[in-house]
Structure 1
Amino acid sequence: MLLATLLIDYPILRETLSHTSDVTVTWEQSDLTEDGDHQLLVWVDGDEFAAFDAALEADPTVTAPVRVVEFDERRLYQLELTPEGHRSSVYPLVIEEGGVLQEVTATSEGWRFRVAFPSDEALERFYAFFVEQDLEVELRKLYEKGESVGGAGTRSEFGMTEYQHEALVAAVDAGYLDIPRSCSLAELGDRLGISPNATSERFRRGVKTLIENTVYPADQSS
């Protein structure tokens, strides 16, 4: 299982958030109705509710806002995506890929997604969704979580997962590290059965983990 944190210039509520500098939106839940409508619940924290509500009414990505719960500086809203918002929504892709949204927040600076993915390929398709729409997306954190003892997610003596260990061994066997190289990234990916982008990510994570657990100084303060 891959746990990824991404910063995204996501269109949904972008217009509303651009009018509020001190508001944080936290996604709570999404539901797809039988008619294909996309409803979502979001918590809104801050002290600019008047500006937020006014901007919300004119936002092209949402409609039919309903305040479900109200506190002094915190409100729960139910929103429905407009056709424009539905086209921009990545939620159907997350469901299709078997991903799990662990934490999703937004401010005037953009959206922060923390998502668990079942594979490198699922993460790659999630990332590509935004690239294909010419949206800015930045992968900030990524690590693999072990799935079970003896499974492909377990760690080796150097802290690498078996997937990472497999990638490094395959790189040596195929000549990817030779000078000059006798194997391309695409050919290495074919050996592993994954895309070149996924191969590059897995290889670099494996090398980084190997270095940190072997030659990298254990105590950086000295």
Structure 2
Amino acid sequence: MLLTTFRIDYPILRTALTHASDIEITWERSDLIGDGTHRMLVWADGPAFGTFESGLEADPTVKSPTRVIEFDERRLYQLELTAEGRRASVYPTVVETGAILQDATATDEGWDIRAALPDEETLDQYHTFFMSRDFDVELKQLYEDWKPSYCSQPRFGLTDRQHEILVAAVDEGYLDIPRSCSLAELGTQFDISSNAASERFRRGTKALIENTVYPNDHPT
């Protein structure tokens, strides 16, 4: 498989993010329903939720959002794409081609989408999709002969990104006493915000504990 990272000037949520330049979006999941409905779960990180939600109401690619979970500077939204959003969405192509969407983040500067594609023909198919819709797209990274983590060494339930940040946390001294680096510095290493680094680190730590030292008979 090919592991790719694209930077895309993607219209989905562009209006909402333009209203709130301090917000970073992290895609959680998408669902395609038989009647043509396309729903997304996305995390929003940042301080400007008021302007972001005003932007959501004005955004032509999504319907009125549902706020699912709320923390101080982090919220989970369920969004349904409008007809305009569905026409722009690459996710149906992801499903059709058998690609694996690793992660996707967005700011007012665009979307970074990381996906594993079956072959070069599929890569050409994605390029054609973006260009036919006049999306500005940049292929930032391309790794050939990539295998999912479950095909190589054990990862104990970690995603590749979670594995990377946990290893970096050890290498850079985040877990030392006293600490030699901050989560913000780890985030800079992976070109993500400190909030996104914190969430990735916490999710990775949780997955590692649950798949190693967590008792099998512990009540859930």
TM bucket (normalised to shorter chain) is: 0.5 to 0.7
Q: Which residue of structure 1 lines up, in the alignment, with residue 33 of structure 2? A: 33
Alignment partner of 2:19: what SS? Answer: coil
Q: Runs (4+) of structure 1 moved beyond 6 Å?
A: none
| Larger gyration radius, structure 1 or structure 2 | 1
Give the Å deviation of 1:145.
Answer: 3.0
Q: How does 1:10-89 map to 2 (within 5 A)?
A: 10-89=10-89
C-alpha displacement of 1:135 = 1.0
How far apart in 1 are the matches of 2:35 and 2:147?
Answer: 36
Measure the CA separation in 2 of the matches of 1:128 and 1:143: 20
Matching residue of 1:118: 118
Match of 1:144 in 2: 144
Deviations 1:9-40 (CA, angstroms, capped at 9, x unpaired): 00100111111111100000000112110000
Distance 2:147 2:31 in 1: 28
Letter in 2 for 1:10: Y
- In 1: Cα distance, 2:53 partner to 2:145 partner: 40
- What runs of 5+ residues in structure 2 fail to find an aligned partner? 149-220
- The separation in 2 between residues aligned to 1:8 and 1:69, in whole angstroms, is 28
1:4 and 1:43 mapped to 2: Cα distance?
Answer: 22
Q: Provide, for residues 75-119 of structure 1, a one-character-per-residue CA deviation record: whole Å limited to 9, x for no partner.
A: 000000000000000000011111011010000000000000011
Per-residue CA deviation, residues 141-197 of structure 1 (Å, 9 max, x unaligned), is 00113559xxxxxxxxxxxxxxxxxxxxxxxxxxxxxxxxxxxxxxxxxxxxxxxxx
In the alignment, structure 1 segments of 5+ residues that lack a partner are 149-222
**Identity level (%):** 58
Shift of 1:64: 2.8
Secondary structure at the counterpart of residue 95 of structure 1 = helix
* TM-score of the two chains, using structure 1 as the length reference: 0.65
The number of residues matched between the two structures is: 148
**Alpha carbons of 1:36 and 1:46: their partners in 2 closer, same or farther (altered >3 Å)?**
same
Residue aligning to 1:220: none
For 1:127 and 1:146, locate their aligned partners in 2 and report how far apart those are by CA, in whole Å: 19
Q: Does 1:103 align with 2:89?
A: no
Cα 1:118/1:71, change in 2 over 3 Å? same
TM-score by length of 2: 0.66
RMSD between aligned residues = 1.2
Secondary structure of the residue aligned to 2:101 is strand
